Structure 1
């Protein structure tokens, strides 16, 4: 079964191979040279186009000497092979360059993806740090409120204790005045009975002891409140220390933000590098188009050289025919003159 898609240059190559081997490039011979592929109509059409490009019908095999045919076939095959090798070399170089550019682009894309993942990780850590800082600020604010409330309560309790102490002192002063009045009454009423005097003295002593006990209790309560005030002041100092720690953590977070800034700049530079790579890829495509145009020019030049070779072959054929005609005339002249010397033959020819 014929293979579809046979090309003109394949037919031309098979034809040149047949000519180089000294065989007539017929349609059947070319089809056998192509491996029994291609339709005869297609091969015939390509042969007509090739002969038209060479400037006329195919040259008769018998009119060209074997040596000239070999030279023509060798030159044509060499030109075709050199052109094909140059084209293959250019295509291979371009493919390698495109492959390298693609690998570079893939590497840059991988770097960008890694940098993006690192940036997202950094953003997550930054969000966690911000959340922790907000939580610490909220706890610190709660501690401040509790400290203010505790300080206000301690101040209120201290003021109440001071008021109670003043009341006790006033009460003691009042008792002292009462005691003095009692002494004055005793001086005025010495004649009163001794039992009444003793009873009043006992009552006075009991009241005095009671007041002294209340004074001691008030002093103890005041000491307790002072201890609580000192504890509240200690808690305030601890809260201030926690505030300092929170500020230190805030500075640490700000330093981490400054450290993340070069990463963002590196991402920007990598984006610029990607743009440069895209420009290089476009330049490579332009170079490929230039090389492709150059290959087309070389192919046209090969065809032109082949036409020139065909023209020279035709000229050589014409000269060969002229030489045969001259030799034929010489032979006829020799037959006419018979056995005359060669010198006379030359004179006659002249």
Structure 2
């Protein structure tokens, strides 16, 4: 059945109205006359039946030119209808493909933006790692310089300690010589006193004088010995302080060595993290290149579709021109027939 409530009588009435105004009753013209209702297929079928009915009533009086004109008109209308259907189908397919391509293009652009954000983030992380690596290297150099300074200070302290040891040995040697000299002097004095006791009593006073001198000399030697003992105690105290300082320096060197090991570990970790970030950055650049290639391909496909649409529009215009030419040829034929 006809859609939109049209029938053969309405189509015939619209056709007669168009003919009365001197217009060609094409499918579009009849549909407009009907108020843009009804499908073109139904209108074409009714028009064909009406023309066939009129051709049957006229019988053999119709001329060959009229039949050819009617046949050309029907063929033109049919060709125009098929062309419009083809163009409509191509337009719908083009709109669908264009929508899909625009969606894919928007998705690709969004992915590119996300990748650019990731690349910027990774570049910032890489810069932070580089800065941390530089700071770690600076701290390592400072620690190495501090270690060298402490090592030099330790060597200087050891040299000073060795000098103090030599001084102590020298003082001990002097103390031993003084003690031997005193012992020798005491022994000589004893022998001398024994000899002088056997001498004449006239020499007692001289001996007593000499004894007093020797006692004074002994006091001087004892004072020197006391000073040497004090110097020895002072040197012993200084040696104790130096030993404690040397122990503290050794502890600092041990801590510095531990810090060097820790800094070396941190430096190795920084190198590893930097290598990972560089590898990930290369992967992201590869993905971005692939997305750009896919985007270029999709743009090329869009251009190809636009070229196809232009070709279809050109073909449609040619078909319309052919239809218009056929209609113009048909009108003089109808006038001649009337």
- Identify whether the pair has TM-score above 0.5, normalized to the shorter chain: yes
Deviation, structure 1 residue 126? 0.8
> Could you say if the C-alpha distance between residues 152 and 260 of structure 1 is closer, same or farther in structure 2, counting changes exceeding 3 Å?
same
Deviation, structure 1 residue 202? 4.8
Q: How many residues align?
A: 273
Asked whether 1:288 is paired with 2:288, we answer: no
Higher helix share: 2
Q: Distance in 1 between matches of 2:297 and 2:105?
A: 10
Deviation, structure 1 residue 266? 1.1
Q: Distance in 2 between matches of 1:211 and 1:136?
A: 50
> Could you say if the C-alpha distance between residues 90 and 259 of structure 1 is closer, same or farther in structure 2, counting changes exceeding 3 Å?
closer
Q: Distance in 2 between matches of 1:164 and 1:313?
A: 142
Match of 1:120 in 2: 120
Match of 2:47 in 1: none
2:264 counterpart (232, 244, 250): 244
Match of 1:225 in 2: 245
2:15 counterpart (11, 16, 19): 19
- Gap runs ≥5 in structure 1: 1-15, 36-63, 319-350
Q: Secondary structure at the match of 1:189?
A: helix
> Could you say if the C-alpha distance between residues 132 and 17 of structure 1 is closer, same or farther in structure 2, counting changes exceeding 3 Å?
farther
Cα shift readout 1:186-223 (whole Å, capped 9, x = no counterpart): 22233435965874675366345324423421431242
Q: Distance in 1 between matches of 2:111 and 2:292?
A: 10
Question: 5 Å matches for 1:138-177?
Answer: 138-177=138-177
Match of 2:298 in 1: 277
> Could you say if the C-alpha distance between residues 207 and 22 of structure 1 is closer, same or farther in structure 2, counting changes exceeding 3 Å?
closer
Q: Which runs of 4+ in 1 moved over 6 A?
A: none
Cα shift readout 1:52-107 (whole Å, capped 9, x = no counterpart): xxxxxxxxxxxx99724999599365554443333222222222222222222222
> RMSD of the TM alignment (CA)?
3.8
- Gap runs ≥5 in structure 2: 1-11, 24-28, 35-50, 58-66, 194-210
Q: Distance in 2 between matches of 1:17 and 1:113?
A: 63
1:67 counterpart (39, 46, 54): 54
Cα shift readout 1:104-140 (whole Å, capped 9, x = no counterpart): 2222111111111111111111111111111121122
Q: Distance in 1 between matches of 2:107 and 2:271?
A: 38
Match of 1:54 in 2: none
Match of 2:103 in 1: 103
Asked whether 1:298 is paired with 2:294, we answer: no
Q: Secondary structure at the match of 2:20?
A: coil
Q: Which has the higher contact order (CA 8 A, sep 6+)?
A: 2
TM-score between both structures, scaled by the size of structure 1: 0.65
Deviation, structure 1 residue 312? 7.1
